[in-house]
């Protein structure tokens, strides 16, 4: 029974690490093999080996190999940053070069403003159609999520967020606005507001959604001819008076998009 439980535990860890990082399961198996062959008594030996191998691979090896799959890390700059650095550590920050170009052009368009591009999940470094859960489509290097823009009670734009992860704090419809969220939930799409469980904690509660800042960010993203689609919740599209036909509704089978903006290449 002990052996069976150990097998189940190790299988679960392999699957879990693969699902959240893509490379974690393979690194875990390598760590088990090295730990078994390394005849040294050391507390947390396997864990130490795993963390060392994982960090070495994530920081040095994966960025080199990803190029053969047509992907590269999101390039950081003064205005392009991850909302949460766990995105980088979990290898969820890979895109096609054209998407980096789109972000770079948008950054230039935002010069003279204090608006920054804070990105969330993008794609894994390897293999098309390898799922980046819980997303349905982040599997080809062409997609990335971007945080909404917020402001202080006095209307000053800030680049702070409302949740630690960047996901799950929703800008709900006002009473006068069309409520697509309610419609999806009433029709049995229970997963639609699932990101509310992914906040990792709410922060900066004094901040409010910046209609002006978010609209300016979106308008500058839309200047790129390489942009295929941009997803945001219908009530926010209406609130910001955005008419562009590349701004689409993602459907009830996905999750709601009033906590982030989703963009993708053609």
pLDDT tens track for 203-235: 999 999 999 999 999 999 999 999 999 999 999
Contact 125, 66 (CB under 8 A): yes
User: What does the DSSP 8-state code read for residue 244?
Assistant: -
Indicate if the pLDDT at residue 136 is higher than 90: no
Q: Which residue bears the tokens 């008419």? A: 243
DSSP string, 170-210: --PPPTTS--HHHHHHHTT-GGGGGGGG--SSB--TT-EE-
The predicted structure's pLDDT at residue 42: 83
pLDDT tens track for 239-266: 999 999 999 999 999 999 999 999 999 9
Indicate if the pLDDT at residue 1 is higher than 80: no
- CATH number belonging to domain 76-265: 3.30.1380.10
pLDDT tens track for 53-87: 999 999 999 999 999 999 999 999 999 999 999 99
Percent of the chain residues topping a pLDDT of 70: 100
pTM of the model: 0.93
Judge residue 185's burial from the number of C-beta atoms within 10 Å of its C-beta, 0-12 exposed, 13-18 middle, 19 or more buried: middle
Break the chain into its structural domains and give their ranges.
Answer: 2-67, 76-265
The predicted structure's pLDDT at residue 235: 97
pLDDT tens track for 3-45: 888 888 999 999 999 999 999 999 999 999 999 988 888 888 9
């Amino acid at each position: 029974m002990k052996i069976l439980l150990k097998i189940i535990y190790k299988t679960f860890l392999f699957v879990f690490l693969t699902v959240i990082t893509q490379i974690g399961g393979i690194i875990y198996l390598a760590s088990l093999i090295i730990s078994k062959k390394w005849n040294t008594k050391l507390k947390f030996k396997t864990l130490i080996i795993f963390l060392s191998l994982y960090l070495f691979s994530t920081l040095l090896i994966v960025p080199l190999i990803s190029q053969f799959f047509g992907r590269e890390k999101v390039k950081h700059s003064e205005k392009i940053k991850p909302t949460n650095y766990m995105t980088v550590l979990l290898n969820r920050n890979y895109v096609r070069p054209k998407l980096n170009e789109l972000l770079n052009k948008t950054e230039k368009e935002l010069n003279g403003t204090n608006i920054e591009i804070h990105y969330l999940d993008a794609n894994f470094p390897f293999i098309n159609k390898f799922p980046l859960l819980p997303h349905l489509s982040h599997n080809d290097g062409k997609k990335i999520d971007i945080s909404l823009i917020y402001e202080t009670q006095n209307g000053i734009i800030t680049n702070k967020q409302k949740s630690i992860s960047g996901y799950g704090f929703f800008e709900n419809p006002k009473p006068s606005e069309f409520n697509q969220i309610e419609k999806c939930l009433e029709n049995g799409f229970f997963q639609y507001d699932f990101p509310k469980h992914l906040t990792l904690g709410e922060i900066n509660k004094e901040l409010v959604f910046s209609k002006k800042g978010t609209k300016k960010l979106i308008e500058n993203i839309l200047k790129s001819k390489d942009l295929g689609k941009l997803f945001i919740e219908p009530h926010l599209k209406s609130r910001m008076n955005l008419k562009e036909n590349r701004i689409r509704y993602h459907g009830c089978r996905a999750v709601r998009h009033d906590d982030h903006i989703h963009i993708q290449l053609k």
